[in-house]
Amino acid sequence: MSEPEDRTVVVTGGAGYIGSHTCVVLLEAGWRVVVIDNLDNSSEVAIDRVRELTGADADRCAFVEGDIREPADLDRAFAVGDAAAVVHFAGRKAVGESVDHPLWYYDHNVGGTVCLLEAMQRHGVRDLVFSSSCTVYGEPEGVPITEGMRVGAQSPYGRTKLIIEEMLADVAASEPGWRVALLRYFNPVGAHPSGRIGEDPVGIPNNLMPYIMQVAVGRRDHLTVNGDDYPTPDGTCIRDYLHVVDLAEGHLAALDHIDRLDGAIAVNLGTGVGSSVLDVVHAARAATGQPIPYEVGPRRAGDVVAAWADPTAAAELLGWRATRTLDEMCADHWRWQATNPAGYAS
């Protein structure tokens, strides 16, 4: 087998939040990276920063501005090098937006993945790491969540992830040679410890950590806690927050262990530890030194009460385990937010 130094990976959506962190980890491990991204929800500055952090030039970290729904754009990305694998992040990810504009989601996420798979077939690439989500479990059967539990998405966004998982299983079953990791992420937060790359949401953040950090930096007055009357110890919902660099390392582990996958296999990527909304507020206050005022508002429609991963399969199959704590997630997210208060536009 060739050394990572000789191997090229196509990264769809590599300018985005998780993609940019994964590119850093892959480049540091010796992979050559070709990013294809339409910059729909990201900035090319992220690619410049990935190159700056890793010392990679535009050859080792190539960028193709293009859309995965366009076969010609994909062909340009595959033409850059002899790709051994694809890591597929590109897609839209906001639950509320998916309710209002379901066709965007089916088009970018499902349609985009069909085009990508056709391009992989044209270029003879059969190894794929896909960004799935814990959202596929809907209201989970129990916690911690294992991969064998019932799936049932509750939004058009979640359904696109389930449809893609099933489509990938069908494709992998239809011809030999496919090795597909369906990585079900829990709640990625934090940033690269340099503070040079991080999450840069457009408009009002939907998710807890970016909202808290915008309060800490003074862009927003206060946090609204979406309900404190849930059946949990402090009444707020519980999630499995996961450092984005741990998550990025999960993709490297999936590529390193892809020969253990026969067909399409779902694997949870989480810490196995649940934290409440108020746990995150307290950790963020300690990390930022800011008061982070909050008010309690009504419950958010469709919120799952408690969800955290059983990460055993990831350890056994991929040799991967998250190591970074909630305090590190907050400290690193804050470094990014404080030094880039307006994100990449700062």
Show which residues are catalytic.
157
> Residue 26: which of ligand NAD, ligand WQD, none does it interact with, CB under 5 to 8 A by kind?
none
Regarding 17 and contact with ligand NAD (CB under 6 A), the answer is yes
- Residue 211 and residue 220: Cα distance in Å, rounded? 8
> Residue 108: which of ligand WQD, ligand NAD, none does it interact with, CB under 5 to 8 A by kind?
ligand NAD
- Residue 179 and residue 182: Cα distance in Å, rounded? 10
Q: How far is the CB of 250 from ligand NAD (least distance, A)?
A: 12
List the one residue from 9, 10, 15, 261 that touches ligand NAD (CB under 6 A).
Answer: 15
> Residue 276: which of ligand WQD, ligand NAD, none does it interact with, CB under 5 to 8 A by kind?
none
Q: How far is the CB of 8 from ligand WQD (least distance, A)?
A: 27
Per CB under 6 A, the segment of 91-99, 171-179, 271-279, 332-340 that binds ligand NAD is 91-99
Regarding 42 and contact with ligand NAD (CB under 6 A), the answer is yes
Residues that bind ligand WQD (CB under 6 A): 93, 95, 133-135, 187, 206-208, 211, 223-226, 237, 239, 277, 300, 303
CA dihedral sign of residues 239, 105, 344, 8: positive
Specify the residue, 185 or 320, whose C-beta has the smaller distance to ligand NAD: 185
Q: How far is the CB of 279 from ligand WQD (least distance, A)?
A: 11
Q: How far is the CB of 150 from ligand NAD (least distance, A)?
A: 19
- The set of residues, in sequence order, having a beta carbon less than 8 Å from that of 2 and lying 6+ positions away, is 84
> Residue 277: which of ligand NAD, ligand WQD, none does it interact with, CB under 5 to 8 A by kind?
ligand WQD
Regarding 131 and contact with ligand NAD (CB under 6 A), the answer is yes
Q: Which has the closest alpha carbon to 11: 40, 47, 52?
A: 47
Q: How far is the CB of 180 from ligand NAD (least distance, A)?
A: 15
Q: How far is the CB of 122 from ligand WQD (least distance, A)?
A: 29
- The set of residues, in sequence order, having a beta carbon less than 8 Å from that of 16 and lying 6+ positions away, is 37, 41, 42, 46, 89, 90
Regarding 275 and contact with ligand NAD (CB under 6 A), the answer is no
Specify the residue, 206 or 312, whose C-beta has the smaller distance to ligand WQD: 206
User: Are 343 and 202 in contact, with CB atoms under 8 Å apart?
Assistant: no
User: Are 172 and 126 in contact, with CB atoms under 8 Å apart?
Assistant: no
Question: Site map for ligand NAD, 167-186, x if CB under 6 A?
Answer: ------------------x-
Regarding 188 and contact with ligand NAD (CB under 6 A), the answer is yes
Q: Which has the closest alpha carbon to 219: 203, 241, 206?
A: 203
- Residue 245 and residue 264: Cα distance in Å, rounded? 24
Specify the residue, 47 or 287, whose C-beta has the smaller distance to ligand NAD: 47
User: Are 303 and 237 in contact, with CB atoms under 8 Å apart?
Assistant: yes
Using CB under 6 A, list all residues that contact ligand NAD. 13, 15-19, 37-42, 67-69, 89-93, 108, 112, 131, 133, 185, 187-188
